[in-house]
Chain A
């Protein structure tokens, strides 16, 4: 039956603009979908990266032998950290690294080594475990009064908010484009159908069932929308994969910005675009044909 119906429809004439519109809309939708995937991944990456670390700052004591006092407090802090459940290991950031960190603000000169800089301890948290920061702060206060714990929660919160904003913007854009695509596809499908009006009426007059008439038309629109949307998505996929090529060429993205490319494993998600496009074209064609047939006696 399907074979029978497939041959009744004219081969496309003048459908190229429709295919082009669908391809472009699919391209944009795939870009938005890819962007939302990247935003998702980046948000997760930022948060887990920061949440996996703790920083303890040890200030030089203001009284007594600054250096000796500092060393004692650092050792005490390290001991506390290493004894804290959930912390994999704690490590003092070396003098040179500390100086490198402040260099942008203070400049590179001998003066730096003479200024009593606070020292930083970098603690790595066992993946998946949580550290009781309040208890840790308590303990450190006793063992090393001039140590300050920073669990990055402020940064995590801010980055989370930023990532959320990026992600929801991408979703909103995706939604808008999906809506526009649906409208364009259904509009174009209806326009195409008016060219087939004569045929629809004739088949109806000959006693074809509405479902048969719909089938002759809907698969045609399903296939051509699928092909056009695949073409648009393919271009977007090539762009996303190509972006990783740029990075490996040394065109580094701004630090902190996520890589602008998709992984191979993420590309299949983009197939949702042609699938949805084809489904929209199919449904629109079917609904339009059935309503046309219904309007005839």
Chain B
């Protein structure tokens, strides 16, 4: 599903943030990415969700070599990826409902077809009564849950979540992890960057750790 070979990354003329990163995410796998703040977790995720091209190295996504893929082929790849951004990136002028519905709308679906799914999902993350609220009127944790609902609503082939439980209490954190596990059980490959040790312990999944820009394999998949 995702393959990195000797990938290096630097922003402009800055220092190298990632060095010789090599790993494989098998289809249907569930993986945690850890590392100190500033270690380069978000940077690594950006390379996967096609927000930045790598400075060097080889990335293969959904079996396609990105170095040779045409630009026009990238949007179709992006549509197969659900992303929970560390800073949420919700659209302030849309309601929680419309934010979550955005990927479905981009896929050309009609409101009548997806309205129930969106409402159900929002209820599941505890926002059943905040569906028509605009993001600026929601708490940080509520915004985070809208961002998560948006990332999973279209059942992407690959789910990338950057600190998805940073702003919620432990119970809600456990609930969200159940959501990711459920999605994973249905076939989505999941990669979650987190500092949350309890989250990692409960899920007992593979953990990759970034140290000094290099990737260290800490634990192979427990399953």
Which residues of A are in contact with B by a Cβ distance under 8 Å?
1, 4, 7-11, 198-199, 202-209, 212, 297
Find B51's partner among A1, A8, A11, A297 (CB 8 Å cutoff). A297
Do B105 and A205 have beta carbons less than 8 Å apart?
no
Do B108 and A207 have beta carbons less than 8 Å apart?
no
CA distance A198 to B103 in the complex (A): 16
Do A206 and B78 have beta carbons less than 8 Å apart?
yes
Chain B residues positioned under 8 Å from A204 (CB to CB):
75, 78
Find B52's partner among A1, A198, A203, A297 (CB 8 Å cutoff). A297
Query: What 0/1 pattern do residues 71 to 89 of B give for CB contact below 8 A with A?
Result: 0001111111101000001
Do A205 and B51 have beta carbons less than 8 Å apart?
yes
Report which residue of A1, A203, A204, A207 has the largest number of chain B beta carbons within 10 angstroms of its beta carbon. A207
CA distance A10 to B80 in the complex (A): 26
Do A205 and B78 have beta carbons less than 8 Å apart?
yes
CA distance A201 to B75 in the complex (A): 12
Do B75 and A202 have beta carbons less than 8 Å apart?
no
| Closest B residue to A294 using CB positions | B71
Chain B residues positioned under 8 Å from A199 (CB to CB):
91
Do A206 and B53 have beta carbons less than 8 Å apart?
no
Do A208 and B98 have beta carbons less than 8 Å apart?
no
Q: List 19 A-B contacts (CB under 8 A).
A: A1-B108, A4-B105, A4-B106, A7-B105, A8-B105, A9-B93, A10-B91, A198-B89, A202-B89, A204-B78, A205-B50, A205-B51, A205-B78, A206-B78, A206-B106, A207-B77, A207-B106, A212-B106, A297-B52
- CB contact under 8 A between A206 and B50, given known A4-B108, A8-B102, A8-B105: no
Query: What 0/1 pattern do residues 88 to 130 of B give for CB contact below 8 A with A?
Result: 0101111000100011011010000000000000000000000
Do B51 and A203 have beta carbons less than 8 Å apart?
no
CA distance A275 to B91 in the complex (A): 32
A11 CB → nearest B CB, Å = 7
Do B79 and A205 have beta carbons less than 8 Å apart?
no
Do A208 and B75 have beta carbons less than 8 Å apart?
yes
- CB contact under 8 A between A8 and B75, given known A198-B89, A297-B53: no
Residues of B in contact with A, size category: 20 to 34
Do A202 and B93 have beta carbons less than 8 Å apart?
no
B49 on the A face (CB < 8 A)? yes
Do B91 and A208 have beta carbons less than 8 Å apart?
no
Query: What 17 new A-B contacts, CB under 8 Å, besides A198-B91, A297-B53?
Result: A4-B106, A199-B91, A202-B91, A204-B75, A205-B78, A205-B83, A205-B89, A206-B79, A206-B103, A206-B106, A207-B74, A207-B75, A207-B78, A207-B79, A207-B81, A209-B75, A297-B52
Do B76 and A206 have beta carbons less than 8 Å apart?
no
Chain B residues positioned under 8 Å from A11 (CB to CB):
93
CA distance A246 to B223 in the complex (A): 90
CA distance A44 to B94 in the complex (A): 58
Chain A residues positioned under 8 Å from B77 (CB to CB):
207
Chain B residues positioned under 8 Å from A1 (CB to CB):
108
Do A205 and B91 have beta carbons less than 8 Å apart?
no
- Listed from nearest, the 6 A-B pairs whose CB atoms lie closest are A207-B79, A207-B78, A10-B93, A207-B75, A4-B105, A208-B106
Chain A residues positioned under 8 Å from B50 (CB to CB):
205, 297
| Closest B residue to A201 using CB positions | B89
- CB contact under 8 A between A8 and B76, given known A198-B89, A208-B106: no
CA distance A209 to B51 in the complex (A): 15
Chain A residues positioned under 8 Å from B106 (CB to CB):
4, 203, 206-208, 212
Report which residue of A1, A204, A206 has the largest number of chain B beta carbons within 10 angstroms of its beta carbon. A206
A44 CB → nearest B CB, Å = 53
Report which residue of B50, B79, B103, B106 has the largest number of chain A beta carbons within 10 angstroms of its beta carbon. B106
B74 CB → nearest A CB, Å = 8
| Closest A residue to B98 using CB positions | A7
A192 CB → nearest B CB, Å = 14
| Closest B residue to A5 using CB positions | B105
Query: What 0/1 pattern do residues 35 to 70 of B give for CB contact below 8 A with A?
Result: 000000000000001111100000000000000000
CA distance A101 to B106 in the complex (A): 80
Chain B residues positioned under 8 Å from A209 (CB to CB):
75
CA distance A212 to B105 in the complex (A): 11
Chain A residues positioned under 8 Å from B83 (CB to CB):
205
CA distance A21 to B51 in the complex (A): 37
